[in-house]
Amino acid sequence: MIHRRRFLATAALATVTPALSSAQANAAPYRITKGRIRQSVVHWTMKPLTVVELADAAAAMGMGSVELIGPEHWPMLKERGLSCAIAGSHGFSKGFAHVEEHDECIARLRQSIDACVTHGVERVITFSGFRRGLDDTTARKNMIEGLKKILPYAEEKKVTLCLEMLNSKVTEEMKGHPDYWCDHIGKALDICQTIGSERMKILFDLYHVQIMDGDLIRHYQQCREFVGHIHTAGNPGRAELDDQQEINYPPIMRAIAESGYTGFVGHEFIPRAADKVATLADAVRLCDV
């Protein structure tokens, strides 16, 4: 499995392969009927499906997006009536908690923002990076100062930065991120509130928030004004949204729908099952509230 940060940093090298046949696409195991939740899917968790195969499956299910893929794929998404709900940028190994990493992060964000403007993509992901000995006061100060350097450009281009909180508790690769600084939802909320820009939002990852803070509906409601994107996965294990994990997704999705949220909910679970399309369809059905 390609490491997520390596994938986000090298998405431009991804290879497009022929699309599924129309018969395969029309044989979707589920198609969205209610549509109160705009659903998306992250490609890296669904390998070995190619980007095109996943896009065909997503379109057949009535989803709206395949996200965190490179700009070279965005015209293909548009042909299928899809969009890229959120674009990648500098990856989570580096971020705004460290002053010495600001220039690189800003350069990557500017590049991603420019691509978004060209293709009509509205959001870009960003990260704090790892603590590496920093105290909270210094990391917070660096975060605010660094993000304020790039936000005028994001505001000018009308592209929203979404700061993702990641759990620092789980040690298994790509299921947790020990030493990541922005590891509680309160930190992400504080950064957004302090900066006070309409283009500075939170990527509210239900899996990560559950591990670190729990009380998902209440925390979502507290953050609602600042939520720019949402991710799903089952806990423990970051696997399917099934009865083998503890998060009860239907009431959470109803709370999100009833809050007036109009952004996307992106599925970022790592399926255990061999049939990735079928397991994605199960998640889409569960969240179609």
Q: Structural domain of residue 56, as residue ranges?
A: 4-287
Among residues 162, 152, 243, the alpha carbon closest in space to that of 202 is found at: 162
Distances (CA, A) of 127 to 77, 95, 164: 26, 5, 6
Express as a percent the part of the chain with pLDDT over 70.
Answer: 91
Residues near 58 by Cβ (< 8 Å), separated by ≥ 6?
Answer: 40, 41, 65, 66, 80, 82, 280
Domains identified in the chain, total number: 1
Q: Specify the 3-state DSSP secondary structure of 38.
A: strand
Q: How far is residue 156's CA from residue 265's CA, in Å, rounded to a whole number?
A: 26
How far apart are alpha carbons 163 and 18 in whole angstroms? 34
> What's the confidence (pLDDT) of residue 138?
98
Supply the pLDDT for residue 12. Answer: 36
**Terminus-to-terminus CA distance in the chain, angstroms?**
32
Say what the pLDDT of residue 80 is.
98
Token pair in block for residue 279: 């397991």
The predicted pLDDT at position 2 comes to: 36
Cα 20 from chain centre: 25
Q: What is the 3-state secondary structure (H, E, C) of 65-120?
A: EEECCCHHHHHHHHHCCCECCCECCCCCCCCCCCHHHHHHHHHHHHHHHHHHHHHC
Report the CATH number at residue 194: 3.20.20.150
| Alpha helix ranges (H) inside 164-275 | 185-195, 206-212, 216-223, 249-258
At 117, the amino acid letter reads V
Residues forming beta bridges with residue 265, ordered by sequence position = 39, 230
Amino acid 28: pLDDT: 74
- pTM for this model (two decimals): 0.90
Question: How does pLDDT run along the chain (289 residues), one tens digit per residue?
Answer: 334 443 344 333 333 333 344 434 446 789 999 999 999 999 999 999 999 999 999 999 999 999 999 999 999 999 999 999 999 999 999 999 999 999 999 999 999 999 999 999 999 999 999 999 999 999 999 999 999 999 999 999 999 999 999 999 999 999 999 999 999 999 999 999 999 999 999 999 999 999 999 999 999 999 999 999 999 999 999 999 999 999 999 999 999 999 999 999 999 999 999 999 999 999 999 999 9
